[in-house]
Amino acid sequence: MTSAESARHFIANAFTEGRSGRRIPVENPATEAVVGEAASADAADIDDAVRAARAYADAPETRDMPPVERMGMMFRMAEAIREIADTGARWLCTESGKPLADARGEFDEAARYFDYYGGLADKLEGRAIPLGGGYLDYTIPEPYGVSAQIVPWNFPVALAARSLACALATGNASVVKAPEEDPIALLMLGRAVQRAELPRGAVNIVCGYGEDAGAALVQHPGVDQIVFTGSVPTGQAILRAAAENVVPCVMELGGKSAGVVCPDADLETVAASVRTGIYFNSGQVCSAMSRLIVPESRHTEILDRVVALSESLSIGPGIAGHAITPLISAEQRDRVEAYCLGAEQEGARLATGGRRLDDRPGHYMPPTVVDRVQPGMRIAREEVFGPVLAVQTYPDDDTDRAVALANDTDYGLCAGVFTRDLDRAHRVARRLRGGQIYVNEWFAGGVETPFGGVGLSGFGREKGQEALNNYLRTKNVAVRLG
């Protein structure tokens, strides 16, 4: 790990400082020390990246590439990601604060996206549409061309890979805007691109702030399609920019997802899902289980168990393998703490946690359980993006009430139900609002399962075969037979 590897833009298969000459400091959230820096793209750098992407997308060799060749590129890329994973994971752990094992897991997931979409690259088929004897009609799935992808800081490597892999498999070129907080590990994917000997311009990654680099990218007239993962206000700004050029978007925004515990639920299962659902990545997960909706008769039992679990988790730097690691920044820590204070002021009760740990360097918030949360409270409706679980109750025999509470938010990303009753599981799953529903295991699924939201959580689906629809458009050819 040297600071020479601090992030530079990756354009047309070469690393470059960029034209602006400006740099962004990169902090270690566990020590608050500056550990690297990143280039900061301006509009001219973005233009370079989009031009490189356009050259690849429009080249006859790209358009006429046999699908099996694209498949080979994808598998080489998966292998190359695995080769750089150890170094990359240490950087990701350092700049994001997350546990080293989870950072390593992000690289494994990134490789898996390239394997998964590599396996689909030679199976993208059109169809023949019957029009009667005098005609032949068929469809061709075509790539959009240049895909712009804006990535947030919570899973920079895995989230970039999920869009990049699908775009590459479908014949698109990509320009990725890395998050300003932790761009270094993501830029290492450029080294994997070089190792895999992908064609120049297929994958381009730029660093920079959202308001200049990100905005310049989404406004660029050479961009044909946008995938955004991040917050609602930024998503809204990007949609406005996309409207100017009439460019389709995928919006992967936030969430306020709830797990409904039925009276017959197995509490071991519930506790395991609390551990991963709200404490994985210290709760900085769009699909986190940030609310638990429990039956009144089991409230005390569940609360005791969840509090004991929360207080048992080790807190410290990710590099030392702790369960709860620092939040990404001081601002994020302040924001999370403010939500906890606000919840108390609105009448909720902090069952554990809720105050920053200021006995050490680093942006730490402890695992926090907020009890007696009522539907109108901000803690019940707004995304906290930290290790904070809100607990709500419902009368045991009123499943309708439990579902209504779960659905009572403007978001709709994920939801879950915990029960031993198969019929009830399916009935409740149908009624919960969200793009992914979990039964008896939060985060069940993988790269194969379509992911995305409704309402303020956005639209479009990434992951799984559904994601191919984001990167391909249909051309119809109708032939009048002589």
> Rule CB under 6 A: which residues touch ligand NAD?
150-154, 177, 179-180, 209-211, 214-215, 218, 229-231, 234, 237-238, 252-255, 286, 383, 385, 413
At 15, give phi and psi (nearest 5°): -85, 140
Residue 407, phi then psi, degrees to nearest 5: -85, 0
Taking the complex as a whole, the smallest distance from the CB of residue 212 to ligand NAD amounts, in Å, to: 9
DSSP annotation of 197:
T
Select 219 or 310, whichever has its Cβ closest to ligand NAD.
Answer: 219
Secondary structure string (H, E, C) spanning 323-339: CECCCCCHHHHHHHHHH
Q: Shortest Cβ distance from residue 278 to ligand NAD (Å)? A: 13
- Assign 478 to helix, strand or coil: strand
DSSP codes, 409-467: SS--SEEEEE-S-HHHHHHHHHHS-SSEEEESSTT---TTS-B--SGGGEES-BSTGGG
User: In whole angstroms, how close is the CB of 383 to ligand NAD at the nearest point?
Assistant: 6
Q: Are strands 173-177 and 436-439 parallel, antiparallel or unpaired?
A: unpaired
Q: Residue for token digits 């961009």?
A: 223
* Pair 91, 2: CB distance under 8 Å: no
Minimum separation from the CB atom of position 40 to ligand NAD (A): 11
Looking up tokens 């204070």 gives: 341
Minimum gap (Å) between residue 57 Cβ and ligand NAD: 21
CA proximity to 113, closest of 82, 142, 151: 82
Q: How many residues does the chain have?
A: 482
Answer for the pair 220, 148: CB distance below 8 angstroms, yes or no: yes
Closest of 65, 57, 427 to residue 260, by C-alpha: 427
Nearest distance, CB of residue 64 and ligand NAD, angstroms? 33
CB-nearer residue toward ligand NAD: 151 or 173: 151
Residue with tokens 């302040």: 334
Nearer to ligand NAD, 89 or 150 (CB): 150
- Of 170 and 234, the one with the shorter C-beta distance to ligand NAD is 234
| Residue in 252, 337, 383, 462 annotated catalytic | 252
Most distant pair of Cα atoms in the chain: their distance: 83
Catalytic, 252? Answer yes
45, HSE (Cβ side, Cα atoms, 13 Å)? 28
Least CB distance to ligand NAD at residue 159 (A): 6
Helix (H, G, I), strand (E, B) or coil at 52: helix
Which residue has its beta carbon closest to ligand NAD?
210
Q: Which is nearer to ligand NAD, 179 or 326 (CB)?
A: 179
List 227's β-bridge partners, or say none. Answer: 149, 250
* Residue 329 tokens, joined: 């920044």
> Helices 156-169 & 67-96, crossing angle to 10 degrees?
170
Query: Angle 267-279/299-312 helices, nearest 10 degrees?
Result: 50
Instruction: Report the residue number, 42 or 180, with the smaller CB distance to ligand NAD.
Output: 180
Q: Are strands 9-11 and 14-16 parallel, antiparallel or unpaired?
A: antiparallel
Instruction: State in angstroms the smallest separation of the CB of 316 from ligand NAD.
Output: 23
For 181, the 3-state DSSP assignment is coil
Instruction: Give me 160's structure tokens.
Output: 């970039």
CB of 482 to ligand NAD, least distance (A): 51
Give the residue with the Cβ less far from ligand NAD, 237 or 350.
237
Active-site residue, selected from the candidate residues 166, 286, 340, 414: 286
Using the minimum distance from each CB to ligand NAD, give the nearer residue, 25 or 347. 25
Choice between 230 and 464, CB closer to ligand NAD: 230
Report how far residue 419's alpha carbon sits from residue 264's, in angstroms, rounded to the nearest whole number. Answer: 6
| Residues with a known catalytic role | 252, 286
